[in-house]
Amino acid sequence: MAKRIKVDKDVAKDRVDKIFPLLKKEYPDAKCALDHSNALELLIATILSAQCTDVRVNIVTKDLFIKYRSASDFANADIEQLQEDIRSTGFFRNKSKNIIVCCKSIVEKFDGKVPDNMDDLLSLTGVGRKSANVLLGNEFNTPGIVCDTHMIRLSRRLGLSENKDPVKLEFDLMEVVPRKRGGGWTLFSHLIVWHGRNICKARKPDCPNCVIADHCPSANDPNLW
């Protein structure tokens, strides 16, 4: 079992200040990996992304968003047909049900528009804090920290939090990552995802080629991976 890094919030804040600009320079094009042109498309894409790669989701939504253009279209979709349309994303029965119920709520409660605040987003079927923060940060200009598997893994390796629980981790990171300065919570989330996919991978991080290795307490120490 990997050793734990004792987390000090002041040290964590200082570490974030140092790694943030390095990651921005390394990944100048970091952005949401889910293709979308509006809030509804991003919402559907986040539901489909559960236990599925963003690459696969983008392949599916390329045609899906031509066929279904509004919340009403999804709300009134034939569930068996929708299942076939999204089958390759996995868990298609549950996802299709969630999409239809979610979009019915959007039509009935929000006049067909995806809500722009955390509480209303969380009232939608299939939407948790991670998905809500994706929407808030990328569509509504409201900073949000997205705690996916990459954020959970890298936050522990970097000594930013000891929590694996996404909600607890989110609130920990709110205290050490600047909300708006330098791109804020949303950009930090994108950068961590990109770094996790390219360098700081789950099985074996590429520490020799890591731009933030000098500021990472886990660098080159397999016992902390």
Catalytic residues: 130, 148
Task: Round to whole Å and give the CA distance between 66 and 34.
Answer: 16
Which tokens hold the place of 100?
């239809």
Distance separating the N- and C-terminal Cα atoms of the chain: 9
Sign (positive or negative) of CA dihedral 113, 102, 126, 128: positive
Q: How many CB atoms lie within 10 A of CB 144?
A: 23
Residue ranges of alpha helices (H) inside the chain are: 9-26, 39-48, 54-67, 71-75, 79-86, 92-109, 118-122, 129-139, 149-157, 166-174, 184-198
Tokens for 207? 């520490």
Query: Residue 108's Cα: distance from chain center in Å?
Result: 27
Question: Please, are residues 60 and 35 in contact by the beta-carbon 8 Å criterion?
Answer: no
Rg (CA), the chain: 19
Q: Exposed (0-12), middle (13-18) or buried (19+): which is 174, by Cβ within 10 Å? A: middle
